[in-house]
Amino acid sequence: MLLLYAGLTAVGAVTAKSQCVDAARVGALSAARGEPGAEAAAAVAPPGAAIDVAAGTETVTVTVRSRIRAVGDAIPFLEVTATATARREPGLPEAPP
């Protein structure tokens, strides 16, 4: 039974990680084009994920964090994180400090 719980938790963690990677990538590319990166990332991220957009003068970095519930009660939560960085498009105004 323990192996079943571990396997189901691993599948859930891998799925959430994949969604976080996609959300970070979409958010970074969107923000690099001058669009709202957090909104774009939220559309792809797992429900309840925390999204952080850090805009620099040349790059934009988006970090997506999601807590998932482990199957069983041995581990209460797991957190998966993904980060993506994209270079800002030329001609866009610089990010505020």
- Averages of pLDDT over runs of 10 residues in the chain (97 residues) are 77 88 94 89 91 90 89 74 92 55
pLDDT in the model for residue 77: 79
Instruction: Tell me which residue range forms the domain holding 56.
Output: 2-87
**Residue 77 falls inside a structural domain:** yes
**Residue 96 falls inside a structural domain:** no
The whole model's pTM is what? 0.81
Phi, psi of 8 (to 5 degrees): -65, -40
DSSP output for 22-38: HHHHHHHHHHHTTS-HH
**Residue 39 falls inside a structural domain:** yes
- Residue found by looking up tokens 């774009």 in the block: 40
pLDDT in the model for residue 94: 56
pLDDT in the model for residue 54: 92
pLDDT in the model for residue 75: 64
pLDDT in the model for residue 96: 41
**In the numeric block, which tokens belong to residue 5?**
């719980």
Q: Total domain count for the chain?
A: 1
